[in-house]
Amino acid sequence: MLLTGPSVAAASGKARQLVVLCHGYGSDGNDLISLAPYWQRLLPDAAFIAPNAPAPCDGNPMGYQWFPISRLDPLEIERGVAAAAPLLGRFIDEQLALRGLDGRHLALVGFSQGTMMALHVGLRRRVAPACIVGYSGALAAPERLAGEVTCRPPVLMVHGDLDDMLPVSRMHQAVQALGEAGLAVQWHVSPGLGHSIDQTGLDLGGRFIADAFAGRLEGSAGAA
């Protein structure tokens, strides 16, 4: 199975970096590719691509899912992420090769279920991505991360404190597990925000990716 989705070319005309955007449950690539115009000023050399997840969504037939979710059961999430990971990994490899880039020039961005995918795949690649940004998401199987991680890119986690889909406690759980596995993690909680991305989150994400591509992200974990 091949993943496809919308893309935006580098504003400079030459892609020297790649940002892969992984959408949430029931959505599609058109949702997250809309972040590209917000970030192009900071990332003129970056191409953006947002693959549609591999399966029609059980809960929304107009959208897609990386894996089925009937409830936020940890075992269900762990199995689902592991099953979908090879497809996303191959897609990333193909898109990098298409542009003549290596993994150091990759940024992974996820929202909700897409954050679960970005973290799982990004932390198990042979070459570390420049960074991973996760919005309104969670870490699948946090207790297994330390034994499976193969690279340690900087990570930014952003979450709303009124998220009723994935509570902000899931972000704090992820931050703790990432830190214990030796990753440099930044995090931000947006007050009054539900399961969404606000302007503060957009600004933090764009600057984080720009700093990662410029090699400026070497620091300890803490609030952004």
Burial class from Cβ neighbours inside 10 Å (0-12, 13-18, 19+) for residue 45 reads middle
Contact 169, 151 (CB under 8 A): no
The Cα 75–Cα 85 span in angstroms is: 15
Active-site residues, by number, are 112, 163, 195
CA 157 vs CA 2, 10, 140, 172: distances in Å: 28, 25, 14, 9
Buried b (16+ CB within 10 A) or exposed e, 73-96: eeeebbebbeebbebbbebbeebb
Q: Which residues contact 193 (CB under 8 A, 6 or more apart)?
A: 159, 160, 161, 162, 163, 201
Contact 7, 38 (CB under 8 A): no
